[in-house]
Amino acid sequence: MASQVTLNGSVAILGADRHIHAARRLRESFPGIRWQDGTGADGAAVVLTEDRGLAEGAFRIVAEGPRVTIAGGPFSGVIYGAEELIAQAGGHPDRIALPDAPIAQAPGLAYRTFWNWDHSTNWELSQIGVQEIGVFNPYGKPPRGFLDDFRRCVDFCSRNRIAAVVIFGFLRDTHGGIEASQELCRYATERGVRILPGIAIGSYGGVYWEGDHRYNLATWLRANPQHAATLEKGVGFQIADLAFPLNFPRSDYTLSACPSAPETMAWMEEGVAWLAETFEIGGINIEAGDYGVCGCDRCVARRANEAEAARRKDVHGDYWSHTDMADNFPRLYRTAKAIRPDAWIYSEIQWDNLLDPVAHEAQRRLPHGGVYQHTTNRTYWGRIQRELTRSYVESLPTQPNVIRCQFACQWNGDERTERYALNARVFSEMATLCAERGMTGLTVWGEPSPYTATVEISYLAFARFTWEPTLTWERFLARDVAPLLGGRDAAGEFVAIAEELDAHQRLPLERLRALRDGAAAHRAGDEAGRRWLSLEDAIARRIYMGA
């Protein structure tokens, strides 16, 4: 039997002043230990220390006599190490028992990110105003709802090694404006989670999504109407993998500014500098906008190149411009990096074009070190699985590269939402493929609450497989899912029921009743029973609706 190191009684935490949340989690998890800020009575201590030689998020735990040292890479490594110590320590509130062999881990994918809109992120379930789809939506929750939702989201990310949360609608007067967003950034940074406000070059509200503010696009265009874009067609787009048409009502949210106007980009640069200075952000997610391009004479002339002309022939050619990205992203990248050198600056390369070489000429002008995010719908994902190779990824002019999953959410599928589907297998496959073929990260939607067990298991799959892409599905079920649902056999049954429901928009009532009864057999008063109850409820709603 391997030897162990045990800490109990009086134990010091050294480094607690620098690593506040890691120390907090230790105190919460082991309330029976007498934690001290100095040296323990018998020299017992947990030492929390950053090691900048480790990758971001990586950690090692070394036990030497009565002292356990958690060394972590920048930003989140010490927190992840503390969570691993808690998981390995045996669950006793009054003692920590660890093997004396060192524990060392590092993320398989560096960039592990949730992508959320403010209005449709629903993690605090005890409030009005829930929305589940849309991009130009008003905020309908009470003002405190923004912080209530995203604090819960951040807590989950911190405990499960999800590194970042992109937030579109980061700044609105209606959910607290500057003060609320500053508080969220402080809260998230303390817990090792990067907040990445989502912005777009001359669209999507500018830097301040909604409100009477100098960096809000509608406010700026009212004062500078001569810089408004002349869109080549009406605002909006349709996704082929979505069974129903999308609605894009005209409003201040759909305004665009001309990206060829020097004044537009000067204003955007000034806004990005203000954003980086005012908030403790972990980065920015920058788009060129995806609901139309400016067709003024200057924009047409600036985009007069073969690659852009070839791109305009495809199905998405009028929604965005890679020339706009190449001309403008580097300016915003440099502005943000000058203020926050360690920031992750995502550039959205838009959707269903990772394997499309016509954009490469423009992309060669993009700076190395930006995080280049290639979005995929469900059908295009099948093509990526078949055609993407490591050598192709390594040859891309954009480096590093990540995939953003635009399905397994509300934006693909039939009239049902995929938000609450069991998306765990999809996320596991995507993480594994990213690692095998040279992509360095994966982004998925993180809007619905993990109160619904299918959502919880899907998020856990995303977290576990992006951290450890060589993880097998069977090991994931046995190690991570089985304890949540009452054992390995129960986990297998849960997955089978959920995946059958997801695969069929209609099922005979007799089959639905049989599936409901199967789920109900696991109903109990514990947390496992609550998770089964969420599945039973989903089936009961379908029975009520007649299919």
Written out in words, the top-level CATH class of the domain with range 4-105 is: alpha beta
DSSP class of residue 526 equals: S
Q: Which residues pair with 405 in a beta bridge?
A: 376
Looking at the chain, the number of H-run helices and the number of E-run strands are: 19, 16
pLDDT band at 218 (very low <50, low <70, confident <90, very high): very high
Q: Is residue 39 over pLDDT 80?
A: no
The pLDDT > 90 percentage for the chain reads 80
DSSP character string of 245-261: ------SGGG--B-TTS
Q: Is residue 40 over pLDDT 80?
A: no
**pLDDT score recorded for residue 238:** 76
Give the mean model confidence (pLDDT) for residues 273-300. 91
Q: Which residues pair with 228 in a beta bridge?
A: 257
Beta strand residue intervals within 415-528, DSSP E? 441-445
Give the mean model confidence (pLDDT) for residues 355-380. 91
Q: Is residue 249 over pLDDT 50?
A: yes
Residue whose structure tokens are 């480096």:
399
Q: Is residue 540 over pLDDT 90?
A: yes
DSSP class of residue 39 equals: -
CB 434 within 8 A of CB 381: no
For residues 370-405, b (16+ Cβ closer than 10 Å) or e, as one string? bbbbbbbbbebbeebeeebeeeebeebebbbbbbbb
* Interval 413-455: pLDDT, tens: 999 999 999 999 999 999 999 999 999 999 999 999 999 999 9
Give the mean model confidence (pLDDT) for residues 218-232. 93
Q: Kind of pairing, strands 59-64 and 95-99?
A: unpaired
DSSP class of residue 227 equals: G
Give the mean model confidence (pLDDT) for residues 63-73. 93
**pLDDT score recorded for residue 315:** 58
Lowest average pLDDT, out of 70-79, 233-242, 416-425, 450-459, goes to 233-242
For the chain, the helix, strand and coil percentages under 3-state DSSP, each to the nearest 5: 40, 20, 40
DSSP SS3 for 127: coil
Q: Is residue 491 over pLDDT 60?
A: yes
Give the mean model confidence (pLDDT) for residues 461-467. 99
The pLDDT > 70 percentage for the chain reads 97
Residue whose structure tokens are 């106007």:
261
The architecture in CATH of the region 143-471 reads: Alpha-Beta Barrel (3.20)
Domains in the chain: boundaries: 4-105, 143-471, 481-545
Residue 28's contacts (CB-CB under 8 Å, 6 or more residues apart) are none
**pLDDT score recorded for residue 311:** 65
DSSP SS3 for 133: coil
Q: Taking the C-alpha atoms of 539, 543, 545 and 547 in order, what is their torsion angle to the nearest 10 degrees?
A: 90
CA–CA separation, 394 vs 39, rounded Å? 50
Residue 181's contacts (CB-CB under 8 Å, 6 or more residues apart) are 170, 171, 197, 279
Q: Is residue 127 over pLDDT 80?
A: yes
Largest CA distance in the chain: 77
Of 273, 258, 384, give the one whose Cα is nearest residue 321.
Answer: 258
Q: Is residue 247 over pLDDT 90?
A: no
Residue whose structure tokens are 């305004």:
255
Lowest average pLDDT, out of 316-330, 362-376, 416-430, 436-450, goes to 316-330
**pLDDT score recorded for residue 317:** 58
Average pLDDT over the chain reads 93
CA–CA separation, 405 vs 320, rounded Å? 19
Hey, how many other C-beta atoms are within 10 angstroms of the C-beta on 155?
15
Can you say how many angstroms the Cα of residue 370 is from the centroid of all Cα atoms in its chain?
17
Give the mean model confidence (pLDDT) for residues 208-218. 97
**pLDDT score recorded for residue 1:** 43
Q: Taking the C-alpha atoms of 195, 201, 204 and 210 in order, what is their torsion angle to the nearest 10 degrees?
A: 70
Amino acid occupying residue 489: D
Give the mean model confidence (pLDDT) for residues 368-383. 96
CA–CA separation, 459 vs 11, rounded Å? 34
Of 258, 416, 284, give the one whose Cα is nearest residue 338.
Answer: 284
Q: Taking the C-alpha atoms of 490, 495, 500 and 504 in order, what is their torsion angle to the nearest 10 degrees?
A: 140
* Interval 98-107: pLDDT, tens: 988 999 999 9
DSSP class of residue 5 equals: E
